[in-house]
């Protein structure tokens, strides 16, 4: 999980859930390997913290984050090192999503959407709810060049905010007409096996408590499929494994058959679990922790990378034999955590 929820929605990730038994039988997948060699690149950017990471390959990885240094909001990894082009842009990115080496999309503050194409970033679209509202696009999902979503919220006041869903279809951005929903859409994923799109929303109840909602989109119909509250130590999130959407609810992993959430397994019992994950399949899932990265192989969960301090690993990307995660230490350093499977 990433993104900016401003002061009133911070601490969202620190609350968890218990889950019932009755796991769903999986297939004959082999447990994912755990023999990684780790390196960490440290980028000292006191005014910019990375909020998202994406890429088309281990030699084409992008990280982004908003902040005061507008020439350091995008960093690129070419397989050797992380670099910024040091070009100042009037844009504070929160999310980034890659289609290919030559097509990367980003969304962020002021309702702006930027596109990397022909070796350069340029503004592609800006959504204005009205002249006096703040629009924040928390997440962008680039499925193809003709199928892109950007979601977030617009603010009338800090206490008065409403969710928005933008969709790019072929050549035009459109605001999907949904009932006025008091939520902050901050996660989105598409299930390629059935074409359904899923979102997560957050609603503030007080300074330390937020409700969550999970939604399914069918064309322009938005249907709530689950909700919960931190008051019951519960929280939900979306996880994409290859082409299928799963859900992390509390400490557990679930699939969804259109009517019912089916438990697959328990990801963690550790209170440092940040409730986020990335993976290759149901038995090869990496989960973000307050102090590192853990791994669930369908049978148990162990740390693969662990820090002596809180670094809050909330975003990652998984390739066939390499994995990347972003964290931030107490000194303001952005930590680019890179794992590579050992050769066999």
Taking 3-state DSSP, the helix, strand and coil percentages for the chain, each rounded to the nearest 5, stand at 5, 55, 40
**Residue 232 confidence (pLDDT):** 59
Q: Is residue 18 part of a domain?
A: no
pLDDT band at 302 (very low <50, low <70, confident <90, very high): very high
- In total, how many domains does the chain have? 1
pLDDT at residue 52 in the model? 98
Asked if 246 contacts 261 with a C-beta cutoff of 8 angstroms, the reply is no
Helical segments of the chain, H only: none
Own/partner long-range contacts of 74-78 (Cβ < 8 Å, ≥24 apart)? 74/106, 74/121, 75/43, 75/50, 77/324, 77/336
Let me know if residue 288 belongs to a domain. Answer: no
Domain that holds residue 202: 90-266
Asked if the structure places residue 129 within a domain, the reply is yes
Show the tokens assigned to 283.
Answer: 């038995």
Instruction: Specify if 72 maps to a domain.
Output: no
Burial class (CB in 10 A: 0-12, 13-18, 19+), 294: buried
**Residues 255/248, Cβ–Cβ less than 8 Å:** no
Model confidence pLDDT, tens digit, residues 62-98: 999 998 899 999 999 999 999 999 999 999 999 999 9
Residue-level pLDDT at 157: 80
Above 60 in pLDDT, residue 24? Answer: no
Q: What's the pTM value of the predicted model, to 2 decimals? A: 0.92
Residue 206: inside a domain? yes
Give the residue from 224, 217, 219, 189 showing the smallest Cα distance to 203: 224
108 in a structural domain = yes
- Answer yes or no: is pLDDT of 100 > 80: yes
**How far from 196 is each of 199, 218, 244, 258, CA to CA, in Å?**
10, 6, 10, 10
* pLDDT of res. 192: 86
Kindly report, residue by residue over 190-246, the tens digit of the pLDDT. Answer: 998 888 999 999 997 665 667 899 999 988 889 999 999 866 557 789 999 988 999
The rounded mean pLDDT for the chain is: 90
pLDDT at 18 over 50: no
Q: Classify strands 160-169 and 172-175 as parallel, antiparallel or unpaired.
A: antiparallel
Alpha-carbon distance of 288 to 272, in angstroms, equals 9
Judge whether 342 lies within some domain.
Answer: no
Query: Is 162 domain-assigned?
Result: yes
């Amino acid at each position: 999980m990433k993104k900016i929820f401003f002061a009133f929605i911070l601490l969202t990730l620190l609350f968890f859930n218990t889950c019932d038994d009755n796991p769903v039988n999986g297939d004959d997948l082999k447990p994912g390997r755990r023999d990684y060699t780790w390196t960490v690149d440290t980028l000292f950017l006191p005014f910019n913290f990375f909020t998202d990471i994406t890429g088309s390959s281990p030699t084409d990885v992008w990280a982004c984050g908003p902040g005061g240094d507008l020439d350091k909001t995008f960093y690129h990894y070419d397989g050797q090192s992380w670099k910024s082009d040091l070009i100042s842009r009037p844009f504070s990115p929160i999310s980034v999503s890659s289609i290919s080496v030559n097509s990367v999309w980003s969304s962020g503050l002021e309702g702006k959407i930027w596109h990397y194409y022909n070796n350069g970033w340029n503004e592609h679209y800006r959504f204005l709810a009205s002249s006096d509202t703040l629009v924040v696009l928390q997440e962008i999902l680039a499925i193809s060049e003709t199928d892109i979503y950007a979601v977030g919220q617009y603010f009338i006041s800090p206490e008065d905010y409403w969710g928005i869903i933008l969709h790019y279809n072929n050549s035009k951005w459109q605001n999907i007409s949904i009932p006025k929903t008091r939520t902050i859409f901050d996660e989105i994923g598409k299930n390629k096996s059935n074409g359904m799109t899923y979102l997560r929303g957050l609603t503030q109840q007080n300074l330390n408590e937020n409700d969550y909602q999970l939604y399914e989109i069918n064309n322009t119909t938005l249907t709530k499929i689950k909700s919960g509250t931190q008051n019951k130590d519960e929280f939900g999130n979306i996880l994409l494994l290859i082409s299928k959407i799963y859900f992390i609810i509390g400490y557990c992993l679930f699939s969804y058959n259109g009517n019912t959430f089916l438990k697959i397994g328990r990801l963690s019992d550790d209170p440092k679990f940040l409730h986020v994950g990335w993976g290759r399949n149901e038995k090869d899932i990496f989960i973000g922790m307050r102090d590192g990265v853990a791994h669930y192989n369908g049978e148990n969960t162990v740390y693969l990378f662990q820090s002596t301090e809180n670094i809050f690993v909330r975003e990652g990307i998984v390739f066939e034999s390499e994995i990347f995660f972003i964290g931030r230490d107490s000194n303001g350093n952005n930590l680019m955590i890179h794992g590579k499977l050992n050769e066999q």
